[in-house]
């Protein structure tokens, strides 16, 4: 390890030791299941919204087998308004696979984790690193932004993860497993709290003096347009409203009740059909709908 890399690691790890947020899935007593649930919930959802839902889930379903014993609709209902509710179904499917194929224990290698339903490259790496201490690069949006600025000297990372970014992340990993684990989460935290997308606080950054972007005069981003996600009037909003009605009901909901959710009939029915196709909603008879009910046999 070069002296420069050693100094970089030391400054970031010392900063994290002082500034890290106290989040339950980062504590030493967090279970691998708790880490997996947190990683799925945190995808595209802020910590402040995830925290109460994560706590409710782990209280209700402290193990994968506990969730697998419930119907998938229970997971969708408990997902609340975190958004992208297919993640709830993926967690339920992963819990079922863990219960059936791994004796109820979350597997500890990236390869095994990737075989779980709905677990992709990022989530597998995160769980392997944070729950099992594996030396593997964990590359989320915050990490990509920090390393784009620190190493590449650009304001924002490319629209999608590149091979070059993976190589940079791997090259920056400390050699020891324990330091690599903390480094991964420390860089994430740095991106979340200091090296933010819109208003980076460079003067508070522990590696400002080593940052290529700062050294270049903080040049503006010149890549493809970065578009925010619209909400009002979109299919996402309609789907969310339909699911909210179903979550708040103790039983099947008449189609007529769902028609009251949104005036645009074409859009509403398209969204309802999409929810059925995604497995988030089940038709009941000819004129009612419910959250998915079929579950794993107890």
- Cα atoms in the 13 Å half-sphere on the side-chain side of 220: 4
Cα–Cα distance between 41 and 96 in angstroms, integer?
18
Do the strands 282-284 and 253-254 form a parallel or antiparallel pair, or are they unpaired?
unpaired
Token pair in block for residue 246:
């179903």
The residue with tokens 């420069």 is 4
Cα–Cα distance between 195 and 83 in angstroms, integer?
25
Q: How many helices (H) and strands (E) does the chain have?
A: 15, 3
Q: Which of 39, 70, 147, 165 is catalytic?
A: 39
Cα–Cα nearest to 5, from 166, 187, 173: 173
Q: What is the DSSP letter of 282?
A: E
Q: What is the DSSP letter of 204?
A: G
Q: Has 39 been annotated as catalytic?
A: yes
Please classify residue 126 by burial: count the beta carbons closer than 10 Å to its beta carbon, then call 0-12 exposed, 13-18 middle and 19+ buried: buried
Cα–Cα distance between 270 and 258 in angstroms, integer?
12
Token pair in block for residue 174:
């400390």
Q: Which residues are catalytic?
A: 39
């Amino acid at each position: 390890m070069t002296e420069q890399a050693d100094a970089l690691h030391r400054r970031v790890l010392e900063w994290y030791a002082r500034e890290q947020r106290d989040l339950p899935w980062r504590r030493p007593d967090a279970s691998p299941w708790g880490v997996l649930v947190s990683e799925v919930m945190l995808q595209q959802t802020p910590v402040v919204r995830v925290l109460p839902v994560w706590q409710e889930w782990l209280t209700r379903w402290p193990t994968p087998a506990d969730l697998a014993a419930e119907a998938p609709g229970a997971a969708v209902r408990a997902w609340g308004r975190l958004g992208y509710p297919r993640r709830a179904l993926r967690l339920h499917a992963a819990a079922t696979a863990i219960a059936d194929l791994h004796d109820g224990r979350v597997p500890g290698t990236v390869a095994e984790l990737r075989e779980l339903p709905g677990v992709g490259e990022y989530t597998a790496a995160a769980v392997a690193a944070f729950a099992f201490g594996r030396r593997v690069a964990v590359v989320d949006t915050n990490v990509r932004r920090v390393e784009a600025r620190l190493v590449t000297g650009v304001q924002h990372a490319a629209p999608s993860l590149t091979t070059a970014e993976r190589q940079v992340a791997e090259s920056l990993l400390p050699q020891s497993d324990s330091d690599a684990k903390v480094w991964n989460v420390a860089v994430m935290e740095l991106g979340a709290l200091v090296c933010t997308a819109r208003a980076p606080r460079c003067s508070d950054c522990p590696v400002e003096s080593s940052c290529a972007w700062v050294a270049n005069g903080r040049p503006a981003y010149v890549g493809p347009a970065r578009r925010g996600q619209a909400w009002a009037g979109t299919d996402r909003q309609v789907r969310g409203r339909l699911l909210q009605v179903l979550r708040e009901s103790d039983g099947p909901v008449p189609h007529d009740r769902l028609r009251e959710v949104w005036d645009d009939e074409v859009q509403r029915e398209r969204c309802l059909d999409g929810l059925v196709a995604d497995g988030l909603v089940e038709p009941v008879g000819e004129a009612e709908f419910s959250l998915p009910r079929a579950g794993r046999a107890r």
